[in-house]
């Protein structure tokens, strides 16, 4: 049998460092997977899968050139299908623990901070994918792609993805994020955007002794006027109620939130009945000066009630890190090319995304190592430069000087795209329908 290429040897070495072969086999056995002694055992299959994703989710016919070994496409695909989804989820968590064990964790005011958000990808238009991850409702049947949505939990400072959950496109982000609470420990802090700012979500976090910090939801009335000067706010139908308790400073106070009158759609009636009638929340507001003389006002709701231990300016600095999760998702979808998934089944789509997350974490492990050697914060190390190093490095080679991105504070650019891509019209009818009526093709007179 031909020897493995240096690229595959490098993958084996990196996986062996954080995920030994015994750990992979143990995770598969725990998930109920049994296998015979064959060429594509779970360890070899995962190693080849990681190598494939490292090279931009390349084709299997290219994979045999990278590995310098004969690879039967059908046998390799069947081996991937045999991998248990539960085992890959467990390996992702073990990989994060392995990386964290060799690096010094960073904390904010003594707390571990995690970011939560959701993103989407595109999957092949197959019946199984459409059933599990339906396409957007505005598209005609046969004219769109299934859209799997994943809710991810990311370490705010190392950038490691600790856990992901998969939901259909139109399920609320909170329905998935609640299942992520099991990955959080007592005293951890969860930070997210306004989609996660809900009374019920704060309570579920408090039950687990987890702190929360989210941007204020638009459905809530916030009034920072001093007592005696405040006017009764004009409350619209559906807006949440609150009651002033105590001022903590300028645009910073404690209020009492009340239980919503209706059960949220993402909760069960039993969960709704367990909610307390009220809870104490800290509301604060700060300004972010932006370009062109504009000032953006951000309002935060949090269970960090101690103004001495968690000053307002430190909370403002922390919330500035929330946007980094968008950068991490961009690294996944753009740099690693996860925007389009190739698997034809819903289970395969989830496994493929989990391998993308494994590769992403391996790249961030290299960034953490390079940051220590270069005495720079990990977020300053270039992700794409670390990925290129992984693709070209020899086995046992130590990373040298990786590219350090400059600090770009205060940037503000319009969210527009300059590249027009192509001028072809969007599909509004299936190809089968258009092929029966070629005279009605777009652009044909």
- Walk along the chain (445 residues) in steps of 10 and give the mean pLDDT of each run: 58 84 92 88 92 91 87 92 94 89 81 94 94 91 92 93 92 85 92 92 93 91 69 57 86 91 86 91 88 75 94 92 91 94 95 96 91 89 91 76 83 75 79 82 68
Q: 78, 48 in Cβ contact below 8 A?
A: no
Res 308: pLDDT = 93
Per the domain annotation, does 399 fall within a domain?
no
Q: What pLDDT, on the 0 to 100 scale, is given for residue 193? A: 92
Q: Is position 52 within any domain?
A: yes
> Looking at the domain assignment, is residue 55 inside a domain?
yes
18 falls within a domain: yes
Q: How far apart, in Å, are the Cα atoms of 419 and each of 331, 336, 342, 423?
A: 19, 20, 25, 11
For residue 2, the model assigns a pLDDT of 38
Q: What one-character DSSP code corresponds to residue 334? A: I
**What's the pLDDT tens digit per position in 388-409?**
988 887 776 777 789 998 887 7
pLDDT of 203 reads 93
Domain membership of residue 17 (yes or no) is: yes
Res 207: pLDDT: 92
Q: Which domain holds residue 17?
A: 1-83
Which pLDDT belongs to residue 240? 65
Q: Is residue 74 part of a domain?
A: yes
> What's the mean per-residue pLDDT of the chain?
87
- Residue 72 belongs to some domain of the structure: yes
CA distance 373 to 368: 9
The candidate with the shortest Cα–Cα distance to 261, out of 215, 176, 199, 202, is 199
- For residue 151, how far is the Cα from the chain centroid? 6
Residue-level length of the chain: 445
Predicted TM-score of the model (pTM) = 0.90
Residue 173 maps to a domain: no
Question: How many domains does the chain fold into?
Answer: 1
């Amino acid at each position: 049998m031909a020897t493995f290429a240096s690229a595959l040897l490098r993958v084996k070495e990196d996986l062996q460092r954080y995920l030994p072969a015994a750990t992979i086999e143990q995770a598969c056995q725990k998930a109920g997977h049994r296998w015979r002694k064959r060429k594509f055992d779970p360890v070899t299959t995962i190693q080849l899968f990681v190598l494939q994703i490292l090279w931009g989710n390349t084709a299997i016919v290219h994979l045999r050139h990278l590995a310098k070994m004969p690879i039967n496409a059908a046998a390799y695909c069947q081996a991937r299908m045999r991998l248990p989804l539960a085992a890959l989820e467990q390996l992702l968590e073990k990989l994060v623990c392995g990386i964290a064990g060799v690096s010094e964790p960073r904390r904010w005011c003594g707390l571990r901070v995690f970011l939560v958000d959701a993103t989407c990808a595109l999957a092949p238009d197959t019946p199984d994918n459409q059933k599990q991850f339906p396409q957007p409702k505005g598209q005609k049947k046969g004219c769109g792609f299934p859209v799997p949505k994943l809710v991810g939990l990311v370490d705010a400072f190392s950038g490691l993805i600790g856990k992901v959950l998969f939901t259909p496109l139109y399920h609320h982000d909170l329905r998935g994020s609640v299942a992520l609470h099991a990955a959080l420990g007592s005293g951890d802090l969860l930070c997210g955007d306004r989609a996660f700012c809900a009374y019920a979500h704060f309570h579920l976090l408090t039950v687990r002794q987890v702190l929360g910090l989210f941007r204020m939801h638009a459905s809530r009335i916030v009034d920072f006027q001093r007592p005696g000067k405040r006017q009764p706010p004009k409350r619209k139908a559906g807006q949440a109620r609150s009651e002033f308790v105590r001022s903590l400073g300028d645009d910073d106070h404690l209020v009492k939130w009340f239980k919503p009158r209706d059960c949220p759609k993402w909760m069960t009636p039993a969960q709704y009945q367990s909610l307390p009638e009220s809870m104490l929340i800290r509301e604060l507001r700060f300004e972010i000066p932006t370009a062109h003389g504009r000032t953006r006002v951000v309002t935060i709701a949090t269970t960090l009630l101690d103004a001495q231990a968690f000053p307002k300016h430190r909370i403002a600095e922390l919330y500035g890190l929330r946007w980094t999760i968008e950068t991490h998702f961009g690294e996944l979808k753009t740099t690693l090319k996860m925007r389009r998934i190739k698997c034809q089944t819903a289970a395969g789509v989830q496994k493929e995304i989990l391998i993308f997350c494994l590769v992403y974490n391996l790249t961030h492990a290299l960034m953490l190592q390079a940051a220590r050697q270069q005495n720079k914060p990990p977020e300053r190390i270039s992700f794409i430069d670390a990925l290129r190093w992984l693709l070209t490095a020899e086995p046992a080679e130590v990373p040298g000087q990786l590219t350090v991105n400059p600090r770009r504070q205060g940037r503000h650019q319009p969210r527009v795209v300059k590249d027009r891509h192509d001028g072809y019209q969007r599909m509004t009818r299936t190809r089968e329908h258009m092929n029966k009526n070629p005279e009605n093709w777009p652009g044909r007179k």
